[in-house]
């Protein structure tokens, strides 16, 4: 009996030890799975933040002419091309202030690349409809919601295709159909040490074909190239070809740096843009802003 009891004790002790080992292993696996899920969540949140702050485009041409736009449309290296056009500057005549914000349209591709999203309502479909960035409602002191009518004073530039045309300011009534997530103040021109806004329209109307005829105040072209192409070389080539200065185009130096979520998640080419535009990462001030990349 003594041997049997001793054997039972040994078996019981081994079973307890094995159970403890399995419990420890299960806890370790659970913690590992939890950390993996948390890390994935953090990466996805960071990716969403980068997209919102800097956009998914690899760069944009600022106030691009028709020659640049036509060349981009024919270039096989461009797989996504979006336009944002400012057609005028608008103010609230009832506010008693002279603050103006850009008014214009953004096509579907530019909305996607720039991260412009609706919070409420829908996108404008007719000339009498408008969508407004939420922060712009406060900027213009507009107390309005989806479904309301808003009256704006809109100033437009002279039309290039109409000789002798003059700047004009008119009051226009719009039906507010959508409120947009804040985006325009997020996206800065990275080549400007003063942090000048890229000028995306904060008041979005339906696409106006007249703006194609030369009366646009400014035009922004968002570019995403195919994965096998170097977008650094791509923009440098266009700068040389069309004689562009540094304030006429910008590269997405943050979203496409080597350690950015967009690069690791989507597998875009590993171009280090920081060597192009040396800057202080704490203040995000850029050096040599008056020089072109060829001169740096």
Provide the pLDDT for residue 265: 35
Residues β-bridged to residue 175: 129, 149
Give, rounded to a whole angstrom, the gap between the first and last alpha carbons of the chain.
91
| Higher-confidence position of 184 and 93 | 93
Provide the pLDDT for residue 159: 61
Q: At 284, phi and psi to the nearest 5?
A: 60, 30
Provide the pLDDT for residue 281: 33
Name the burial class of residue 88, with classes exposed (0-12), middle (13-18) and buried (19+) by CB atoms within 10 angstroms of its CB: buried
Comparing CA positions, the residue from 238, 241, 240, 279 lying closest to residue 257 is 279
Comparing CA positions, the residue from 6, 171, 193 lying closest to residue 93 is 171
Distance CA 123, CA 116 (A): 11
**pLDDT(288) > 50:** no
State the alpha helices, DSSP H only, in the chain. 2-54, 66-74, 108-114, 134-139, 231-242, 261-266
Count of residues for the chain? 296
How does 204-235 read in b/e, with b if 16+ C-beta sit within 10 Å?
bbebbeebeeebbbbbbbbbbbeeebebbebb
Q: Name the average pLDDT for the chain.
A: 72
**pLDDT(172) > 80:** yes
Name the burial class of residue 6, with classes exposed (0-12), middle (13-18) and buried (19+) by CB atoms within 10 angstroms of its CB: exposed
Structure tokens at 174: 């719009």
Residue % of the chain over a pLDDT of 70: 55
Provide the pLDDT for residue 266: 41
Residues β-bridged to residue 120: 179
Q: Could you tell me the pLDDT band of residue 251, with boundaries at 50, 70 and 90?
A: confident
pTM above 0.75, yes or no: no
CB atoms within 10 A of CB 66: 10
| Higher-confidence position of 72 and 30 | 72
Provide the pLDDT for residue 227: 76
Q: Convert the pLDDT of each residue in 220-241 to its tens digit.
A: 898 988 877 788 888 888 888 8
Provide the pLDDT for residue 296: 27
CB atoms within 10 A of CB 135: 16
Comparing CA positions, the residue from 201, 94, 209 lying closest to residue 153 is 94
Comparing CA positions, the residue from 188, 191, 189, 187 lying closest to residue 246 is 191
């Amino acid at each position: 009996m003594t041997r049997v009891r001793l054997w039972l004790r040994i078996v019981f002790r081994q079973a307890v030890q094995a159970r403890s080992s399995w419990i420890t292993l299960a806890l370790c696996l659970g913690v590992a799975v939890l950390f993996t899920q948390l890390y994935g969540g953090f990466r996805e949140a960071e990716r969403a933040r980068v997209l919102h702050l800097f956009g998914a485009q690899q760069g944009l041409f600022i106030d691009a002419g028709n020659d640049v736009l036509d060349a981009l449309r024919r270039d096989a290296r461009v797989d996504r091309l979006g336009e944002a056009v400012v057609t005028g500057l608008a103010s609230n005549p009832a506010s008693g202030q002279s603050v103006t914000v850009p008014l214009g349209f953004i096509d579907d591709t530019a909305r996607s690349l720039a991260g412009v999203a609706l919070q409420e309502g829908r996108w404008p479909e007719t000339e009498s409809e408008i969508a407004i960035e939420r922060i712009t409602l406060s900027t213009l002191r507009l107390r309005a919601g989806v479904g309301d009518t808003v009256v704006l004073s809109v100033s437009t530039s002279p039309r290039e295709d109409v000789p002798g045309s003059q700047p004009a300011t008119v009051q226009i009534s719009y039906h507010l159909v959508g409120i947009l997530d804040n985006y325009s103040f997020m996206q800065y021109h990275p080549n400007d040490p003063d942090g000048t806004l890229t000028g995306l329209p904060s008041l979005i109307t339906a696409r106006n074909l007249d703006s194609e005829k030369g009366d646009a105040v400014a035009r922004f072209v968002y570019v995403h190239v195919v994965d096998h192409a170097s977008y650094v070389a791509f923009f440098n080539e266009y700068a040389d070809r069309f004689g562009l200065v540094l304030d006429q185009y910008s590269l997405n130096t943050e979203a496409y740096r080597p350690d950015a979520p967009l690069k690791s998640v989507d597998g875009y080419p590993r171009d280090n843009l920081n060597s192009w535009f040396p800057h202080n990462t704490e203040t995000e001030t850029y050096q040599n802003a008056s020089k072109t990349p060829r001169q740096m």
